[in-house]
Amino acid sequence: MTFKTKVTLLFFSMAAAGLVVLNAAIFYFVSQFNFEDFFKRLEARVNISAELRVSPDERSAVTKEVRNKYLEKLEDEKDYLIKLEPDGSLPETKPLQLPDVFFNAILKNNRARHVEDNRFYCGGLFKKGNEKYIVIVGASDPYGYKEIEELRKILIIGFIISLALVYVIAQLFSYYTINPLRNMIKGVRNITANNLHMRLEEKKGKDEISELTQTFNNMLIRLETAFETQNNFVSNASHELRTPLTIITSETELLLARKDLPEAARLSATNILNEAEKLKHILTSLLGLAQTGFDGKKQNWQKIRIDELLWQVIDHAKKIAPESQIQVNAEQMPEDENRLYTEGNVNLLQLALSNIVLNACKYSNYAEVSISITERNNWISVTVADKGIGIPAGEQQFIFDPFFRASNTNKFEGYGIGLPLTLNIIRLHKGSIGISSEENMGTEIQIMLPRAR
């Protein structure tokens, strides 16, 4: 889910919740006002009915005439008179059946209200001498309920329309809110190892977006400085370190060419030459490791057919180790050769695959090594499997760390640089490496590379 969608949903949810609360409040207060108004009208009728039936006098006739002439007759309006017992209790028989709570409230508070199935009741307690009476007026309010139902429909329709408007507003809100971030993403995507000098456009202001832009630009300055420093080191180290190594190697070879060289001196010179060659190899690997670790330039980037590259790797491996036994399993190889192409630097990929294949041969004591190629979902998979010494389970997570060597590799020559270099090369080609190994059973390494389109 994108951040824009999250903002839209958050805004929409909050606005929808607000609309629900607002509509509920409107419906509640209008309903309460409607009921309160109707109860007040009933209470007025209770007072009039009590004056006419409990304490009639010479004004009662006028009151009755005014009520009949000017007072609106409510729907199904009826009044009831209940005479209480001398002790103030209710009689056993009552003219209407209502809950005892209603009658008890009248006796306690002199007034009470009750609603039952859209019929409203209002009652009051009145005295005449030593006698007490309860006057109750009941009526229906169909018009009030009709108004409430109409209000409910209006609120529901308004709520639906408001939700549609809120969604449109949420989309616009999220678009203009995320637009600065979207522009930042476009700018960041254009910045690579080749153009670290580029910067994001800084806008005036002290908001979070401006602060984020400034922070990112400051980070780019530090990255550019670090990359330049590393680039200068890689460029200069190749010349500055190789030259004295070449001199040491040449002088040692000249020394070994002398026939009058004592045996002890010859042995020392041979050791010096071997160590110099090792140092040269380590230096070459380190420079390659550093270069592939930061250089994102697509130098000599071209389409490469993986199966042809593998045959070159196998030929190279057999030249280095003639005793190697390498078998290629072509059963799962796609018939369409166009599905075997990837894009990259052929020399770097050859170096990466050679490291994997040579390691498989070396650590299996040059037993049979199997290589297979498959293609699925636009990914080319190269699997190299051996039946060698394997890698201890607790050490497999460290095999791509520079200079790390497994505890069971003491009998084998190596520097712990080949696999880290291979990983950097594969990552440079937007691929990945997976490993499955069991000690004393063998190792299987799978290289995934994107297929060229």
C-alpha–C-alpha distance, residues 354 and 361, integer Å: 10
Specify the length of the chain in residues.
453
| Shared domain check, 322 and 272 | no
Distance CA 269, CA 278 (A): 14
Question: Do residue 307 and residue 439 come from a single domain?
Answer: yes
Residue 386 has what pLDDT?
Answer: 94
Looking at the structure, tell me whether residues 445 and 321 fall in a common domain.
yes
Quick one: 29 and 140 in the same domain?
Answer: yes
Q: What is the DSSP letter of 414?
A: -
Tell me the sheet residues that pair with 126.
Answer: 133
Q: Is the dihedral of CA 390, 394, 396, 399 positive or negative?
A: negative
CA count, 13 A, side-chain hemisphere, 405:
14
Residues 402 and 420 in one domain: yes
Last residue within a domain, chosen from 148, 167, 196: 148
- Note if the pTM is more than 0.75: no
Domain boundary among 269, 294, 319: 294
Q: Within this chain, do residues 216 and 324 fall inside the same structural domain, yes or no?
A: no
Of 260, 294, 328, at which residue does a domain stop?
294
Do 86 and 38 have their domain in common? yes
Task: Give the CA count within 13 Å in the CB-facing half-sphere of 202.
Answer: 13
Residues 324 and 422 in one domain: yes
Report yes or no on 435 lying in a domain: yes
**Looking at residue 279, which CATH number applies to its domain?**
1.10.287
Answer yes or no: do 352 and 401 share one domain.
yes
Q: What is the DSSP string of 339-390?
A: GGEEEEEHHHHHHHHHHHHHHHHHHTTT-EEEEEEEEETTEEEEEEE--SS-
**Which pLDDT score is estimated for 361?**
93
Q: What is the pLDDT of residue 243?
A: 80
Contact status, residue 380 vs residue 373, Cβ threshold 8 Å: yes
154 inside domain: no
Nearest Cα neighbor of 15 from 156, 152, 165, 174 is 165
132 and 244 housed in the same domain? no
* CATH number of the domain that residue 309 is part of: 3.30.565.10
331 and 246 inside one domain: no
Looking at residue 298, what is its pLDDT? 47
Give the model's pLDDT for residue 227: 73
Whether 185 is covered by a domain: the verdict is no
Number of other CB atoms surrounding residue 168 within 10 Å: 11
Structure-block tokens of residue 352: 């990466």
- Residue 66 in domain: yes
Distance separating alpha carbons of residues 280 and 270, to the nearest angstrom: 15
User: Does residue 335 lie within any of the structural domains?
Assistant: yes
Are 50 and 131 contained in the same domain?
A: yes
| Any domain includes 371 | yes
Take residue 131 and report the two structure tokens written for it. Answer: 């006698």
Q: What is the pLDDT of residue 296?
A: 47
Q: Is residue 188 part of a domain?
A: no
The pLDDT value given to residue 443:
95
Domain that holds residue 117: 3-148
∠ Cα 376 380 382 (to 5°): 120
The answer to whether 194 and 258 are in contact (CB under 8 A) is no
Please state the domain count of the chain: 3
pLDDT by 10s per residue, the chain, length 453? 777 888 888 888 999 999 999 999 999 999 888 888 888 888 888 888 887 777 776 565 656 665 665 566 778 888 888 888 888 788 877 788 888 888 889 888 888 988 887 889 999 988 888 888 888 888 888 888 888 889 999 999 999 999 999 999 989 988 888 888 888 888 878 877 667 777 877 777 777 778 888 888 888 888 778 777 766 676 666 667 778 888 888 988 888 888 888 888 888 888 888 888 777 766 776 666 566 554 445 456 789 999 999 999 999 888 888 899 999 988 888 888 889 999 988 878 888 899 999 999 999 999 999 999 999 989 999 999 999 999 999 899 998 888 888 988 888 888 787 888 889 889 888 899 999 999 999 999 999 999 987
Is residue 369 included in any domain, yes or no?
yes
Can you give the C-alpha Rg of the chain in angstroms? 47
